[in-house]
Structure 1
């Protein structure tokens, strides 16, 4: 792809001036810049109290939301970790990062790329990383003054190859993990395996243990200790804190499971694949299948999970979210105790959604709305009043927004749009579409072919076009299929109406709009 060559010289010209400044930026050029807490939560869908879920218990995130900008219609650029995070952290979209799936390593593909922490470091910030900000095993050490900090004992050689997503705490779960690892290593016969083979075990675990023994709680404690160590520096800090839950396995202390008794959470609103859906649309549920389950995990085209186990999985996800909510509460409380809360910008975001039986799926990795829709909560400096903002937004918007909130000049290669104008005026005319894409790998696709799906969400419609994909040449091929969902009539995407005669004019119009891409959807009132 030639597009990367266009970026490299631009990256060397690092900052560009911004002629228009909003009320949110006044005084930041001359005053001490605010600190930044960049809080990434893995696999977090919009199941939060502040997003309207009345069953889940998230009092701390809800409290943060009450005095923050809550973006209600934010979408990930790709519903898979590596691609989504690379796009958010570089400021441009998957076809420009060329990170389309899990194995794509952004630094190998883009050796001269300037990541968000690098950018803010050049603007005078001291940068520290704890937890998952980029993809697993890609901490990108050159991005940080202090990269990849871990709590003891997980910072020792014994744990160097371990995957932080799969720490267990009960003897039964640990034994299951050991057995699975031994079988995997025997099968691979000395070849390298992901996470040194430890990334297998039960999908669920509940242990009657204190939060303090769990990895994300330990990360939170380390974050506060680190803040104590760096808060006196002359530079403001940029702290990237990446929580691993609620990623599988759903491992959380028993007290959070107790919040959700059996049968207390609602099943998926749409437990079936959409009617008329093309073959490449669905993922294979292979992520859940990799863990120990009491029942066979089929594809979304197959029979549903037994109701009891589906209920356990959803409760496990909710318990994991509530556990992370407690970690967020401890972090916010710690900032307030240290007198740092008011002068700290906090960004809380999920990298993509996650199906909890929606479309008979368990996992992410589709272009369905449930996988691309994510929470985005941003608290500015000295912010006292929160706003719930309906404007369409994208994770690629975070980078320029943070620049405007901190008085840092924006680069002209950013492919997102600062959200500061809609912070000041939520009713402002804004983007009329946002964009996502997903590469369906041949070994996962039900028909064994490779595809790239380009997705566009407007206020009313969700339109997707699928093309064949040559992953050796990294090229889009022929048109394969399309999908259209009218969210005014079918919010849960139960019927693909792209092939209906009455939808032909809408499909034609949306196809033209999709072909214009994100540049064609830029708001007139952007900074």
Structure 2
């Protein structure tokens, strides 16, 4: 048959009829799942990062994360020690509400019905996984996670289940010594921090692969976990807690080799603050546990550490930070390789600061800003203002409501922090007028043997602290004892307490009233 215009028209009509009778439907486009959450804790991390202006720190991977997110330059911990800080930020409420004030307080025993951040995300359709230190070391809180406290296989020995990830060394001689010391310690008192394993040298620089230390092995497990969960349609919330740069400063030698210790600057404020009360400083008992440091004195005494030892310790801290930075870089590279980076909220934070010879001290556990200020970096899908910084005041207790908002989950109405999402959208807008922190100073760690609670308020210009007697049985404060006032603009290292100066009386009165009004009055307006 010839192909005439008529036959072509008949063919076209027949085709249209057949197409109109076709009942098959195209598969609808699969909706994108909610964003995943990678919640990265870095223990004892002060803002010793390039992204925070530290010209010594070698942290290219965290700095790159900051370039893809938002860097918060004025974030404050609610308590400068692990358990209370983490209990607060993981529940979204403040220390006087959690009633977790020091290392031995366990929030789940104090309030069994507490709902934590991962618990809340699980209730809202997330698969939650815990690797490493998110809550305090020996409080993994299995109720909070669908997969609680997963560990690298070689660390699953029965006698290590209550041992903390920072306590492992490479040296066999050190390992043998640890076991002997632990046996002796447990005979004296069977329940101990880190299950008695927190002994040994304060630093180690073994020439080994990254995976030979706990954080490196844990990162390998995190990478495998990311691959596994990426295959699921369910969004994940992974809490990944790095143990370094917590003591001991044990990290692969190549990270120590990044630094010349002679070029690492010593502390800007090597002395206890002038005119400070004699109960402001901690006894440095954390460092005293390590070999060669059992003799060290209280910071508020005549004790001074030698410059050689100071340089080794500070070198070890920086090396440990660079080690964690490399592991973070490896983790993010893997997320990009398997295609989940773009749809993942990443938040990286430190639970409190850390003194590196500042105030004649080592460790945390004070109300000074060297211990209270922490890094917090956030990036998420479709984020506005990437690579920006904000110097507005934020607090760790703000993380819970903020992550809920970013993930599209209803924010619980009992939160005592404020979502910082509006601040990401406009980093220069006016925000909180103050941050609130506190510290319970116990008798055996004070220079005068007293028990006190110090309440701290940080505004942009001033840091004010009030100290009270504290009743440890009832958890209530007693009589006012003393005050501290520091000029954050003209004395950023808090070298001189000016609270008793006659010229500051009006300011002290104003800040005392603002401290008494509390966090609700400091919330940002018009949000």
| TM-score, length basis structure 2 | 0.92
Find the counterpart in structure 1 of residue 428 from structure 2: 427
Give the conservation status (yes or no) of the 8 Å contact 1:353–1:370: yes
Find the counterpart in structure 2 of residue 493 from structure 1: 494
Shift of 1:110: 1.2
Structure 2 residue matching 1:341: 3-state secondary structure: coil
CA distance, structure 2, for counterparts of residue 395 and residue 349 of structure 1:
8
- Residue 414 of structure 2 corresponds to residue 413 of structure 1: yes
- Cα-to-partner distance string for 1:312-348 (whole Å, 9 max, x where unaligned): 0000000000000011001110110010001000010
1:449-464 matched pairs, under 5 angstroms: 449-464=450-465
Find the counterpart in structure 2 of residue 35 from structure 1: 36
Give the conservation status (yes or no) of the 8 Å contact 2:202–2:249: yes
Give the conservation status (yes or no) of the 8 Å contact 1:348–1:378: yes
- Residue 241 of structure 2 corresponds to residue 242 of structure 1: yes
Residue ranges of structure 1 left out of the alignment (5+ in a row) = 1-29
- Cα-to-partner distance string for 1:93-125 (whole Å, 9 max, x where unaligned): 000000000000000011111000011111111
Give the conservation status (yes or no) of the 8 Å contact 1:180–1:201: no
TM-aligned CA distance change 1:508 to 1:198, over 3 Å: same
Shift of 1:277: 0.4
Shift of 1:192: 3.0
TM-aligned CA distance change 1:280 to 1:403, over 3 Å: same
Find the counterpart in structure 2 of residue 14 from structure 1: none
Shift of 1:488: 1.2
Give the conservation status (yes or no) of the 8 Å contact 1:429–1:525: no
Give the conservation status (yes or no) of the 8 Å contact 2:137–2:194: no
CA distance, structure 1, for counterparts of residue 77 and residue 220 of structure 2:
29
CA distance, structure 1, for counterparts of residue 128 and residue 513 of structure 2:
42
Find the counterpart in structure 2 of residue 354 from structure 1: 354
Structure 1 residue matching 2:148: 3-state secondary structure: strand
- Cα-to-partner distance string for 1:26-82 (whole Å, 9 max, x where unaligned): xxxx85210000000100000100000001110100010111110000000000100
- Cα-to-partner distance string for 1:371-393 (whole Å, 9 max, x where unaligned): 00000000011448211111100
Shift of 1:91: 0.2
Residue ranges of structure 2 left out of the alignment (5+ in a row) = 1-30
Find the counterpart in structure 2 of residue 13 from structure 1: none
CA distance, structure 2, for counterparts of residue 141 and residue 475 of structure 1:
30
Q: Which range moves more in the overlay, 208-217 or 34-43?
A: 208-217
Find the counterpart in structure 1 of residue 20 from structure 2: none
CA distance, structure 1, for counterparts of residue 366 and residue 237 of structure 2:
32
Structure 2 residue matching 1:128: 3-state secondary structure: strand
Structure with higher Rg: it is 2
CA distance, structure 2, for counterparts of residue 93 and residue 192 of structure 1:
28
- Cα-to-partner distance string for 1:145-191 (whole Å, 9 max, x where unaligned): 10000001112313213221110001343244234324423444xx3
Find the counterpart in structure 1 of residue 25 from structure 2: none
Find the counterpart in structure 2 of residue 481 from structure 1: 482
Shift of 1:295: 7.9
Find the counterpart in structure 1 of residue 279 from structure 2: 280
- Residue 505 of structure 2 corresponds to residue 517 of structure 1: no
Structure 2 residue matching 1:506: 3-state secondary structure: helix
Give the conservation status (yes or no) of the 8 Å contact 1:177–1:202: no
Find the counterpart in structure 2 of residue 12 from structure 1: none
CA distance, structure 2, for counterparts of residue 250 and residue 133 of structure 1:
19
Give the conservation status (yes or no) of the 8 Å contact 1:75–1:374: yes
1:223-242 matched pairs, under 5 angstroms: 223-242=222-241
- Residue 221 of structure 2 corresponds to residue 222 of structure 1: yes
Shift of 1:233: 1.9
Structure 2 residue matching 1:149: 3-state secondary structure: coil
- Residue 303 of structure 2 corresponds to residue 318 of structure 1: no
TM-aligned CA distance change 1:295 to 1:234, over 3 Å: closer
Give the conservation status (yes or no) of the 8 Å contact 1:288–1:362: yes
- Residue 90 of structure 2 corresponds to residue 85 of structure 1: no
Find the counterpart in structure 2 of residue 27 from structure 1: none
Find the counterpart in structure 1 of residue 51 from structure 2: 50
Number of aligned residue pairs: 495
Give the conservation status (yes or no) of the 8 Å contact 2:33–2:233: no
Give the conservation status (yes or no) of the 8 Å contact 1:421–1:525: no
Structure 1 residue matching 2:89: 3-state secondary structure: helix
Find the counterpart in structure 1 of residue 292 from structure 2: 293
CA distance, structure 1, for counterparts of residue 150 and residue 187 of structure 2:
32
Structure 2 residue matching 1:133: 3-state secondary structure: coil
Structure 1 residue matching 2:155: 3-state secondary structure: coil
Shift of 1:294: 6.2
- Cα-to-partner distance string for 1:418-474 (whole Å, 9 max, x where unaligned): 101110111111111000000001111121111110000000000000000000011
CA distance, structure 2, for counterparts of residue 127 and residue 294 of structure 1:
40
CA distance, structure 2, for counterparts of residue 230 and residue 143 of structure 1:
18
CA distance, structure 2, for counterparts of residue 304 and residue 169 of structure 1:
30
CA distance, structure 2, for counterparts of residue 400 and residue 179 of structure 1:
46
CA distance, structure 1, for counterparts of residue 185 and residue 518 of structure 2:
43
Find the counterpart in structure 2 of residue 205 from structure 1: 204
Shift of 1:224: 1.3
Find the counterpart in structure 2 of residue 505 from structure 1: 506
TM-aligned CA distance change 1:180 to 1:371, over 3 Å: same
Find the counterpart in structure 1 of residue 442 from structure 2: 441
CA distance, structure 2, for counterparts of residue 268 and residue 432 of structure 1:
29
Shift of 1:525: 2.8
CA distance, structure 1, for counterparts of residue 410 and residue 497 of structure 2:
43
TM-aligned CA distance change 1:257 to 1:150, over 3 Å: same
Structure 2 residue matching 1:314: 3-state secondary structure: helix
Give the conservation status (yes or no) of the 8 Å contact 2:77–2:85: yes
CA distance, structure 2, for counterparts of residue 31 and residue 123 of structure 1:
16
CA distance, structure 2, for counterparts of residue 175 and residue 159 of structure 1:
14
CA distance, structure 2, for counterparts of residue 486 and residue 147 of structure 1:
44
Find the counterpart in structure 2 of residue 470 from structure 1: 471
CA distance, structure 2, for counterparts of residue 158 and residue 80 of structure 1:
27
Find the counterpart in structure 2 of residue 6 from structure 1: none
